[in-house]
């Protein structure tokens, strides 16, 4: 399991490593800031979807050890989301926080993207074993916000790409998220039928 975790760790770091390699080899294209912004946002979404997929995979396959990767995957999703946000604040707006605030208020795709990022913050802060013990079942309720963050992130990505009439990737992410949410709904309904009552949220 240690080797598997090390492999997942390296895979999650690979996109960041490739960005650094491209930066030193002139491979960021004609608009490096936009390239970094899009890539960090893309990998944030990939890792959010993979994190959300851990529980369905465990339930379908019975491979319970996969749950040990969920926290790592979630934290890497937050890592790339932070890089995405910092690229926007530092490289795009050069620490002009008044411009950042104005964008958040006036530009809907920035508003939903920033909200998606904010929702990830408490999830990252409560990802420790101590937080899980202290919060109990409230931890599960809190971490369901990942679905909300994912939906907002997909909408943010859609609005960004639709400006260039390039919506294929956002629609793929929307389809994956819809499938994951549908799986959860079906699981809850089946659990309700088996128990003959209303499951605890």
Q: Rounded to whole angstroms, how far apart are CA atoms 8 and 71?
A: 12
- The pTM score is 0.91
Whether residue 40 lies inside any domain: the answer is: yes
Please give the average per-residue pLDDT across 195-199, as a whole number.
Answer: 58
Whether residue 198 lies inside any domain: the answer is: no
Whether residue 200 lies inside any domain: the answer is: no
Whether residue 165 lies inside any domain: the answer is: yes
Whether residue 134 lies inside any domain: the answer is: yes
pLDDT for 192 beyond 90: no
The number of domains in the chain is 1
Of the listed ranges 30-44, 85-99, 126-140, 150-164, the least confidently predicted one is 126-140
Contact 124, 75 (CB under 8 A): yes
Q: Rounded to whole angstroms, how far apart are CA atoms 192 and 197?
A: 6
Whether residue 197 lies inside any domain: the answer is: no
Structural domain boundaries, residue 114: 2-192
* pLDDT 10s digits, 68-122: 999 999 999 999 999 999 999 999 999 999 999 999 999 999 999 999 999 999 9
Whether residue 143 lies inside any domain: the answer is: yes
Which CATH number belongs to the domain containing residue 99 in this structure?
Answer: 1.20.120
Looking at the chain, the number of H-run helices and the number of E-run strands are 9, 0
Query: What pLDDT sits at residue 40?
Result: 97
Whether residue 157 lies inside any domain: the answer is: yes
Of the listed ranges 42-46, 137-141, 145-149, the least confidently predicted one is 137-141
Q: Rounded to whole angstroms, how far apart are CA atoms 74 and 131?
A: 15
- Quickly count: other Cβ atoms within 10 Å of residue 14's Cβ: 11
High-pLDDT (> 90) share of the chain, %:
73
Query: What pLDDT sits at residue 196?
Result: 66
Query: Tokens standing for 27?
Result: 């491979």
Of the listed ranges 70-79, 123-132, 172-181, the least confidently predicted one is 123-132
């Amino acid at each position: 399991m240690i080797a598997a975790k090390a492999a997942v760790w390296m895979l999650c770091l690979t996109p960041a490593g490739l960005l650094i390699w491209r930066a030193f080899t002139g491979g960021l294209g004609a608009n490096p800031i936009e390239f970094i912004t899009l890539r960090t946002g893309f990998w944030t979404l990939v890792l959010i979807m993979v994190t959300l997929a851990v529980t369905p995979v465990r339930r379908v396959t019975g491979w319970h050890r996969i749950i040990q990767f969920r926290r790592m995957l979630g934290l890497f999703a937050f890592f790339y989301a932070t890089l995405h946000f910092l690229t926007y604040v530092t490289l795009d707006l050069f620490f002009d926080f008044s411009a950042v605030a104005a964008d958040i208020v006036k530009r809907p795709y920035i508003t939903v993207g920033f909200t998606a990022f904010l929702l990830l913050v408490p999830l990252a802060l409560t990802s420790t074993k101590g937080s899980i013990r202290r919060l109990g079942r409230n931890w599960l309720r809190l971490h369901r916000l990942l679905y909300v963050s994912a939906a907002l992130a997909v909408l943010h990505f859609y609005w960004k790409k639709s400006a260039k009439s390039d919506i294929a990737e956002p629609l793929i992410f929307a389809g994956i998220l819809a499938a994951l949410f549908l799986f959860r709904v079906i699981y809850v309904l089946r659990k309700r039928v088996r128990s003959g009552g209303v499951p605890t949220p």
